[in-house]
């Protein structure tokens, strides 16, 4: 059961440097959510393995477009439709600390550098991930629009 948030209780716990705050800890842990978010950045930069997605994963990249889902190889087909031209991520960099929540979600702001069909661009993105209790990503929403895309050359 979720507890009601209280700034008074939160500040008392914080100033008394209590390990556990007046509100239930997130499930999964804040540390796990941060690690998964960082693994997303690391996978782009090192072409490695990123987050673990649940079998019922859904995502919007960017928010407001058709959702991407998993299951039966559907995600691969949906990604082929999105990447209808050569799309090669070059690198990603966090532009602020990863923020967690008292629930099952975390957010990060980052800059993605991409070669799209021979054109270099950067995209300022805010990603929000939601997690299940097993720590898998169940939902990813990428917030960016035209004003967040910069032509670099």
- For the chain, 153 residues long, give each residue's pLDDT as a single digit of tens: 566 777 888 888 888 877 766 666 667 999 999 999 999 999 999 876 677 888 899 999 999 998 888 765 666 667 767 778 888 899 999 999 999 988 899 999 999 999 999 999 999 999 999 999 899 999 999 999 999 999 998
What CA–CA distance (Å, rounded) separates 134 from 129?
14
In the block, residue with structure tokens 């991409």: 114
What CA–CA distance (Å, rounded) separates 52 from 83?
21
The verdict on whether omega for the bond into residue 64 sits within 30 degrees of 0, i.e. cis, is no
What CA–CA distance (Å, rounded) separates 12 from 18?
9
Nearest to 41 by CA among 127, 103, 99, 105: 127
CB 99 within 8 A of CB 90: no
Would you call 59 exposed, middle or buried from its count of C-beta atoms within 10 A (0-12, 13-18, 19+)?
A: buried
Phi-psi map region of 81: left, alpha, beta (phi>0 left; psi -120 to 50 alpha): alpha
């Amino acid at each position: 059961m979720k507890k009601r948030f209280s700034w008074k209780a939160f500040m008392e716990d914080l100033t008394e440097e209590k390990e556990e705050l007046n509100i239930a800890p997130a499930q999964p842990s804040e540390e796990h959510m941060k690690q998964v978010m960082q693994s997303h950045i690391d996978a782009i930069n090192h072409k490695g393995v990123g987050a673990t997605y649940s079998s019922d994963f859904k995502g919007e990249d960017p928010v407001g477009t058709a959702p991407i889902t998993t299951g039966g190889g559907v995600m691969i087909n949906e990604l082929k439709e999105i990447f209808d031209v050569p799309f090669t991520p070059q690198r990603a960099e966090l532009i602020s600390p990863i923020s967690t929540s008292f629930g099952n979600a975390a957010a990060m702001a980052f800059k993605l550098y991409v070669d799209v069909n021979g054109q270099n661009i950067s995209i300022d993105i805010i990603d929000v991930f939601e997690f299940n209790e097993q720590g898998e990503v169940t939902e990813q929403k990428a917030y960016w629009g035209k004003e967040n895309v910069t032509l670099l050359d």
